[in-house]
């Protein structure tokens, strides 16, 4: 649904986006992560046919972003970083205006506007001027605008950044529903917990280049090494366990716990338990040590320049 190959954008002598290749299918969410100024917004603008790529190609919803720009823009719903609302307009009028721009019929428009305002809890405030809205309400309204024409592709920049936890949950659920409804979605976000929750794929962009890309699990494996497991013990352990299965290394140890790494947990974890039990060390629990996407992100963006792109798709 979204496919780019070597997408590049140069502003005068500044290379904003450099050879970006992405592939997002229908029913898939990709989180585009990266520091400020990394090229996320420029990439999104090229995908909405607002900016013309300097080199490379991109197809969105089957249309070429350069030669079929109008069709691309009709097929994309975009939530921009700055929501781009008109403060003197009532919300209902604002959505109706965009409905007209997307050539929606009046009765369809009215129904859809009401439906979306209801979904995001703005129905009672629909006649209020947008200027009177809170930040979170504005963000929800902007999201409603992006969804108004029911586009097959959604490009969402920081969809929950200004929202309270309840609203953020509402929006995340809406995104999950859209994924289930076979929409292709790209989310640009700094909220890594949200990215981990929603994304099927993560692409990390730095100085215009994609430096890592893949599923959250695969990226963790690739960037943080083999999985880490923690065993909680019932008694205090003096020294390391005497015999460890081959391939298992102790990464940290406390009086009543051990952390170890293994590339083959399915075979090594039972062996590890057996080794402890053989030494008459009672085990309380064995579980995978949580590894956050934040660690993956920091590992990727702090890596030295020139490292090859990690593509684990």
Residues that bind other proteins in the complex, under the rule CB under 8 A: 11-13, 45, 48-52, 70-71, 73-74, 76, 78, 80-86, 88-89, 97-98, 100-103, 142, 145
Nearest to other proteins of 60, 202 (CB atom): 60
Q: Which DSSP string do the residues of 10-61 spell out, in sequence order?
A: EETTEEEEEEEEEEE-TTEEEEEE--TTSSHHHHHHHHTTSS--SEEEEEET
* Smallest separation, CB 46 to other proteins (Å): 11
* Run of H or E including 110: helix 106-119
* Smallest separation, CB 93 to other proteins (Å): 8
Radius of gyration of the chain (CA): 24
Nearest to other proteins of 90, 226 (CB atom): 90
Question: 204 — phi, psi (to 5°)?
Answer: -105, 125
The rounded distance, in Å, linking the Cα atoms of 242 and 234 is 17
Nearest to other proteins of 78, 272 (CB atom): 78
Q: Count the neighbouring beta carbons within 10 Å of the beta carbon of residue 37.
A: 12
* Smallest separation, CB 157 to other proteins (Å): 10
CB 241 within 8 A of CB 281: yes
* Smallest separation, CB 17 to other proteins (Å): 12
Nearest to other proteins of 120, 297 (CB atom): 120
Nearest to other proteins of 103, 180 (CB atom): 103
* Smallest separation, CB 184 to other proteins (Å): 16
> With the C-alpha atoms ordered 82, 84, 89, 91, is the resulting torsion angle positive or negative?
negative
* Smallest separation, CB 153 to other proteins (Å): 12
The rounded distance, in Å, linking the Cα atoms of 89 and 127 is 9
* Smallest separation, CB 286 to other proteins (Å): 51
Nearest to other proteins of 71, 291 (CB atom): 71
CA angle 60, 65, 68 (to 5 degrees): 100
- Sequence-separated (6 or more) residues with CB below 8 Å from residue 7: 17, 19, 20, 21, 22, 43, 46, 53, 55, 56, 57, 58
Nearest to other proteins of 127, 280 (CB atom): 127
């Amino acid at each position: 649904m979204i496919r780019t190959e070597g997408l590049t954008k140069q502003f005068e002598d500044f290379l904003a986006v450099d050879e970006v290749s992405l592939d997002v299918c229908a029913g898939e969410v990709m989180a585009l992560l990266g520091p400020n100024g990394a090229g996320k917004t420029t990439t999104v603008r090229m995908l909405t046919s607002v900016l013309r790529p300097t080199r490379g190609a991109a197809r969105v919803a089957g249309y070429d972003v350069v030669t079929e720009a109008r069709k691309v823009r009709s097929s994309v719903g975009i939530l921009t970083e700055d929501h781009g609302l008109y403060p003197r307009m009532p919300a209902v009028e604002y959505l109706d205006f965009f409905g007209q721009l997307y050539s929606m019929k009046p009765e369809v428009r009215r129904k859809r506007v009401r439906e979306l305002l209801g979904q995001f809890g703005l129905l009672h405030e629909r006649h209020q001027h947008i200027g009177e809205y809170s930040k979170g309400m504005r963000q929800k309204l902007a999201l409603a605008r992006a969804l108004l024409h029911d586009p097959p592709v959604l490009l969402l920049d920081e969809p929950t950044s200004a929202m309270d936890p309840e609203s953020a949950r509402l929006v995340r659920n809406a995104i999950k529903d859209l994924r289930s409804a076979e929409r292709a979605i790209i989310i640009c976000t700094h909220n890594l917990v949200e990215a981990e929750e929603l994304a099927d794929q993560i692409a990390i962009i730095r100085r215009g280049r994609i430096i890592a890309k893949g599923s959250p699990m695969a990226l963790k494996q690739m960037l943080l090494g083999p999985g880490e497991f923690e065993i909680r013990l019932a008694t205090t352990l003096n020294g390391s366990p005497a015999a460890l299965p081959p391939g298992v290394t102790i990464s940290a140890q406390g009086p009543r716990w051990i952390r170890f790494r293994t590339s083959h947990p399915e075979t090594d974890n039972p062996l590890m338990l057996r080794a402890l039990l053989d030494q008459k060390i009672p085990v309380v629990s064995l579980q995978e040590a949580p590894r956050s996407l934040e660690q993956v992100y920091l590992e990727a963006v702090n890596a030295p320049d020139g490292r090859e792109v990690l593509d684990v798709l």
